[in-house]
Amino acid sequence: MKKSEKKLLPLFYKKKPRRSLSKKQKELLKFTLQKFLFKKKKIQNSKKNFLEIGFGYGENVINLSKNNTDKLIIGCEVYEPGIANLVTKIESENLKNIYIFPENIFSLLNKLKKNSIEKIFILYPDPWPKKKHYKRRLISSVFLNKIYRILRINGIVFVSTDSQDYLSVILNEFLINKKFLWVNKKIANCYKRPKELIETKYEKKANIKNNKKYFLKFKKMC
């Protein structure tokens, strides 16, 4: 990656858990996680790959895995309690098609082969509402160019948010990019959760706060 490009990338920080990791969680991350780590060769030999960026506690990853047993599901997350939670579910439910990348998403995007991903899921990314934190936001021109490269032609990107401010930013970035078609076409078509998604912990929090939820869908154009 060029130095000039690196400066444009959003900054990412591992969120510190409110409580210290338990002994069980530490063991899961140190030992059990190794069985499910992202394997570049395995992924690139498959033409049926889904990617979820920032999977939180992994509910949607589990749902994708169960409903798409012929696909490989890649989950990227840096929040350690969430990773430990997903590892526990993979083991208890004996799921065979999930791979975890517990590092910065840009490291993963640089490893993935061109046109190797069929669908990308970005559910409730942190809106970083304070102006001084805008540089930490995920959706940016650099990010969109990265995912454009790895998406197959007509590949789909799902983005959900309950932040009206971030909604405007997300839409603006995608529309300026001009490499993606906004499938919803208008905000009125963004209120219903797509059948591919389930209600996650973060969506439940939005419901408790009575926040409006927006489900955006974009398609890669040739």
Q: What is the pLDDT of residue 109?
A: 96
pLDDT confidence of residue 40: 73
Q: H or E stretch including 110?
A: helix 105-111
For the stretch 32-56, what's the b/e string if a residue is b when 16 or more beta carbons lie within 10 angstroms of its beta carbon?
A: ebeebebeeeebeeeeebbbbbbbb
**pLDDT of the residue at 113:** 92
Instruction: Determine whether 126 is an active site residue.
Output: yes
Instruction: Report the candidate in 123, 125, 145 with the shortest Cα–Cα distance to residue 134.
Output: 125
pTM of the model: 0.91
pLDDT at 4: 45
Rounded Cα–Cα distance for residues 90 and 96 (Å): 8
Q: Which residue has the tokens 């996680």?
A: 33
What pLDDT does 8 receive? 46
The active-site residue out of 70, 126, 162, 165 is 126
Does 37-220 carry CATH code 3.40.50.150? yes
pLDDT digits (tens, 9 = 90+) for 82-119: 999 999 999 999 999 999 999 999 999 999 999 999 99
Q: Distance between alpha carbon 71 and the CA centroid of its chain, in Å? A: 16
Task: Name residues of the chain where pLDDT drops below 50.
Answer: 4-5, 8-9
Stretch (H or E) spanning 90: helix 80-93
